A and B are shown apart, each in its own frame.
Chain A
Amino acid sequence: SQQGEEDPQALSIQEGENATMNCSYKTSINNLQWYRQNSGRGLVHLILIRSNEREKHSGRLRVTLDTSKKSSSLLITASRAADTASYFCATSSGGSYIPTFGRGTSLIVHP
């Protein structure tokens, strides 16, 4: 069963704009991760946020976590055409170390 659900399913923006995608989940989590997948490639880990953290930054990425709303957001600032990819959230719960992946948000950044 899938825990995280990304929203929107697809996002199309112009280079230089910010991209925001959201992830909602159903049960309490230990941590939440965001991954990126270029077309036809494997996933690449971007950032992990633990359940007791509210915000993390990594370069142009900003992730927030609201455990009361069971949601997270990934913000990519000043997007570039090279950011075009699918972005997945993955949650880990209870005693399991295996993350459960959502269906992803497809981001297209137009040059």
Chain B
Amino acid sequence: DGGITQSPKYLFRKEGQNVTLSCEQNLNHDAMYWYRQDPGQGLRLIYYSQIVNDFQKGDIAEGYSVSREKKESFPLTVTSAQKNPTAFYLCASSIVGATDTQYFGPGTRLTVL
């Protein structure tokens, strides 16, 4: 059963804490992405990675960090430096060099208490 999984589905964090969102894919895709979605804002790109051990900042990288130690995994850490972290976070993957079609995970809703 191929696809992208994200965990957890819901995450609650106290102010000042770092939290890590998991994203795993078994589609053998080279590229992976993290997006943030707020009501009425559409999707905004946080980080992306084309290859293992390499990643690039997107439009709103401040307060976030990522790693890409394995092709199938691209975890996102929301640090305490992110001032307004409550949002819906989406992970996606794609084949580089074919089409630009992205395949999305089910998302993680993060709420800061």
| Alpha-carbon distance A92/B99, docked complex (angstroms) | 10
In the assembled complex, B100 has its CB within 8 A of some CB on chain A: yes
In the assembled complex, A2 has its CB within 8 A of some CB on chain B: yes
Main secondary structure of the interface of B (DSSP, over half): strand
Are the CB atoms of B109 and A40 closer together than 8 Å? yes
In the assembled complex, B102 has its CB within 8 A of some CB on chain A: yes
Interface size on B, residues (CB 8 A): 28
Given A97-B94, A102-B42, A45:B102 Cβ within 8 A:
yes
Q: B46-102: which residues lie under 8 A (CB-CB) from chain A?
A: 48, 59, 88, 90, 92, 94, 96-97, 99-102
Whole-angstrom distance between the Cβ of A87 and the nearest chain B Cβ: 11
Are the CB atoms of B106 and A1 closer together than 8 Å? no
Interface residues of B (CB under 8 A from A): 4, 6, 31, 33, 35, 40-43, 45, 48, 59, 88, 90, 92, 94, 96-97, 99-107, 109
Q: List 15 A-B contacts (CB under 8 A).
A: A1-B59, A31-B99, A33-B100, A40-B109, A42-B105, A44-B104, A45-B102, A45-B103, A90-B102, A92-B100, A97-B31, A97-B94, A97-B96, A99-B100, A103-B40
